[in-house]
Structure 1
């Protein structure tokens, strides 16, 4: 196996004493979000994404790319496990305003247990939290990227909600049940090929910054910095590839 912990840590600019504690989990999540983009570019270049840690590591770390949830959280799980965290992969079902919740294995996230307390850590969900969420019900948790609350849903599911202007909107539901990466293969293939998947509709690459986010969706570059948002139309493929390199250091 080609998984190399030190090279991965170098990629996300993390170093020092990485004991499996909460502070280090927070640092690892933050550094990951600031250094590795969420993207679906392979899907639009007709390159099959296989749920192989070797292939994902080569793509993300060696080739300086990003990925979607199965790749990013699958790789992050391996890093946390290698450091010594007590972690498990979980299946989540993402909320859609029009369609309700997706199928099982719609999304891959991670639960880490530290000193008997469980935390939801997720670096593969686009606009989400900077820090792990404690698996504590009916408690508003303040994060740099918003306020969140976990509550019980139905049929044994937990629900993650984002709170904005006193309005609560579901992000996804999940069961606190250990899963294997191979169990996500069917839904990974669905999201790569189905016209009903939002991943097949437009090219997307997005990276958190300390004060906002940089995103290319389709042919539009969006730069969010604090309360200021700038949008730039990319006129052609050459401009797209130029901004891909300038903003994300990604070549395709």
Structure 2
């Protein structure tokens, strides 16, 4: 871990951060989710290059640092939250990896541990997640049910789960008086990064996985998100969205200009010890 390089990647002057605190944690989380995209190109490859099957997702921390920090790529939850936990620990935060279940439309959540999140101990315990799609969690959310609303107008809370297999449930809503929507279940039990390897391998290889279809790239903006798919660019403001069709000729330019990813930067193929 080179925390100074990592902090520079997300636009934070290392000398300005100070000691571990709720304000510094909030700053780190916000900077991370608004700088580093959620993207699945390592799984799918380039959508308009039939010879590119993707480099694959590897959960070795040195590889994740090389990919996300040095090559300025993004990733999905196991990569982004996996690497962010390493940064938090290096900066002196008491941060635990926790296994979660992003819920299906039927409210089940398949397979188990299909999401990596983080819980940080400060004055109380907070969920700190930088690896969501839409909507993103932009600030620490306490486990005691207190609501946190971000600058994009999305509110989050963590409540007790009514299921016997998980202890907590994260929920969000777009309007102050809107209905709460379930996002993911989790248990507040520390895990090693290796705990997620089997599910990560499944999600990047199984035909039925939502990650093995078309690639997706998502990056939060000040008032919402932008999302790049092979044939469209969608801008979200709160729960509202506007979509425009795009062609193959402009896809790479949009990827670099709107999401900060130059896909031509090649991966380091050296083995990880």
Does the alignment reach a TM-score above 0.5? yes
Taking the TM superposition and a 5 Å limit, the aligned residue runs for 1:30-109 are: 30-45=30-45, 46=53, 47-98=55-106, 100-109=108-117
* 1:230 aligns to 2:242 (yes or no): yes
Which residue of 2 is the match for residue 158 of structure 1? 168
* 1:6 aligns to 2:4 (yes or no): yes
Which residue of 2 is the match for residue 21 of structure 1? 21
Superposition deviation, residue 227 in structure 1: 7.9
Shift of the 65–129 alpha-carbon distance from structure 1 to 2, 3 Å rule, reads same
Is the strand fraction higher in 1 or 2?
Answer: 1
2:148 to 133, 137, 141: 141
User: What CA distance in whole angstroms lies between the structure 2 residues aligned with 1:141 and 1:149?
Assistant: 6
User: Is the 8 Å Cα contact of residues 222 and 231 (structure 1) preserved in structure 2?
Assistant: yes
Superposition deviation, residue 152 in structure 1: 1.6
- TM-score, L = length of structure 2: 0.85
Deviations 1:121-164 (CA, angstroms, capped at 9, x unpaired)? 00001222211101113x43333342223222222421111234
Alignment length, in residue pairs? Answer: 247
Taking the TM superposition and a 5 Å limit, the aligned residue runs for 1:138-217 are: 139-144=146-151, 145-153=153-161, 154-155=163-164, 156-164=166-174, 165-217=177-229
User: What CA distance in whole angstroms lies between the structure 1 residues aligned with 2:233 and 2:4?
Assistant: 33
Superposition deviation, residue 72 in structure 1: 0.3
Query: Larger deviation: 149-158 or 121-130?
Result: 149-158
Taking the TM superposition and a 5 Å limit, the aligned residue runs for 1:100-139 are: 100-115=108-123, 117-126=124-133, 127-137=135-145, 139=146
- TM-score, L = length of structure 1: 0.92
Query: Larger deviation: 218-227 or 122-131?
Result: 218-227
User: Is the 8 Å Cα contact of residues 36 and 65 (structure 1) preserved in structure 2?
Assistant: yes
User: SS where residue 193 of structure 1 aligns?
Assistant: coil
Shift of the 233–54 alpha-carbon distance from structure 1 to 2, 3 Å rule, reads same
